[in-house]
Structure 1
Amino acid sequence: MSRLVPKDLAETLLARVTEEAERVDWDHLSQASKTAQLARWVDDPEIGGVLRPLVGGDAETRMWLKEVALKRRARARQPDAEAVIAQLFGADAELVADSVDTKPHHALAQNGDHREYICWGPQANAKHLFWAAINALEEDTQLAGAWVVVVDTIASPTPPERRTRLSALARRCGIKIDWMGA
């Protein structure tokens, strides 16, 4: 879908939607308010009016806003690999060059003689984080371990009972888990 929107135009639209999402405090809006804001963007001649001819109708415009603009914004708001590694291992560990990637956010850390896989993201993506960590351990038998780091926000902290459940699942899967953020 994003291939239908020329790159320069997409970047302009992404910047505009990101700016407006910050202005309306998107992360703290109720679902009804998010739906209303999406409708405003679809109806805005400078956003929806530009997207509609490229992606289809209103439904496709709304989907582009959610699946491209807002997801990219969410990914950009995640902590960087160095911050995650510093929280887990302190100043002694180093980011392995060229190991940072997304979907989910992940990297390798060199902690003394041990190389560790780390992936991080919001609690809503926990199953994807767990799957990535399990696969990393399976694919690279030289790894000393794998970490899932759940990034909490003020708007969406991990409830205590969910933390307990995720910790139990991590132990069962042979991976380590930590939280950062709110």
Structure 2
Amino acid sequence: MALQHLPAPIRERLLIEIYQQANDLDWEFLSNTEKTNQYRRWIEDPKVGGVLLSYGPEKDARVWIKDVPMKEYARAQEGIGTYVRYAVNRFQGPEEIVRAACGSGWVMKPDSVGEKPNHCYAIAGDATRYVCWGRAGTFRDLVWAALNEAIDSVERPAIVITTRNGETVSTAERTRQERVAQRCGADLRYLHREMIPNPDYLGAAGGGHGPSQPTLID
């Protein structure tokens, strides 16, 4: 049986296990080398590789871990996509981004969330704004997306640079980002977020952190 056709209960158990371990490891803060080493450890783990190797060769098992659960991990943490329910902790979702970018009176347009980069549309009455967000390292992609929107949009697009505990954006970097955003006709905001226990989590009850409010950084 190909790994793409794993029995549903087996697949779900694997997703829960891998996401639990990724959460414990703070996956998004690992270096590329550390991530490579972790893929090897997953293959050696009886609860992950030990299961996958019953359905296919090692090379296919490694590809499955990388291209199925871990390809979607960052989106799941954002509260986006079909893998959200496997994430132990996640951010509050696009709604908090819209509040940070646009302020009160604006809400997320239903079914408007997309990726590459993460984005959505915010609405207030008849007005519509494009909002995209990501970490500081994705600023170039965010600017390009906002610039493309600014050409045809009546409302100024908004870029939100997000940080979490352990991350900061230097004053020099912020100054340059603000100048670039201004030149491109986009509003720029900074939002410090903390994860909350995922209310839709399928695994054991309770995430790793208590609920908290995002902080809009002036």
TM-score range, shorter chain: 0.7 to 0.9
Mean Cα deviation higher: 89-98 or 62-71: 62-71
CA spacing shift, 1:70–1:173, aligned 2, 3 Å: same
TM-score (norm 2): 0.66
Q: Does 1:42 align with 2:43?
A: yes
Change (3 A) 1:25 1:167: same
C-alpha change, 1:145 and 1:156, in structure 2 (3 Å) is: same
Specify the code of the residue in structure 1 equivalent to 2:145: A
Give the Å deviation of 1:115. 1.6
Match of 2:120 in 1: 107
Paired residues, number: 177
Quote the residue 1:128 is aligned against.
141
Report the Cα offset of residue 17 of structure 1: 0.9
Partners in 2 of 1:179 and 1:67 — Cα distance? Answer: 31
Residues 1:5 and 2:4 aligned together: yes
Per-residue deviation, 1:113: 4.8
Deviation at 1:103, TM superposition (A): 2.8
Do residues 146 (structure 1) and 146 (structure 2) align? no
Q: Which runs of 5+ in 1 are unaligned?
A: none
- After superposition, give the CA deviation of every residue in 1:93-150 in whole Å (9 maximum; x if it has no partner): 1222322223322111123553210011222222222222222233xx3441111111
1:160–1:142 Cα change, 3 Å: closer
| Alpha-carbon contact 1:27-1:155 (below 8 Å) kept | no
SS at match of 1:130: helix
State the shift of 1:18 in Å. Answer: 0.7
Higher relative contact order (CA 8 A, sep 6+): 2
Q: Which runs of 5+ in 2 are unaligned?
A: 79-90, 194-218
Distance 1:32 1:158 in 2: 24
Matched-pair contact (CA < 8 Å) for 2:160–2:189: yes
Distance 1:17 1:159, change over 3 A: farther
Residues 43, 129 of structure 1: alpha-carbon distance in 2 compared, 3 angstrom cutoff: same
Q: Secondary structure at the match of 2:157?
A: strand
User: Within 1, Cα distance between the matches of 2:137 and 2:115?
Assistant: 16
Give deviations 1:39-98, integer Å, cap 9, x for gaps.
21121233234445767544x644543444234221122241211111223331122232
Q: Structure 2: how far apart are the matches of 1:64 and 1:126?
A: 29
Shift of 1:34: 3.7
Q: Report the secondary structure of 1:134's partner residue.
A: helix
2:196 corresponding residue in structure 1: none
Question: What corresponds to 1:72 in structure 2?
Answer: 72
Change (3 A) 1:51 1:168: farther
Counterpart residue number, 2:102: 89
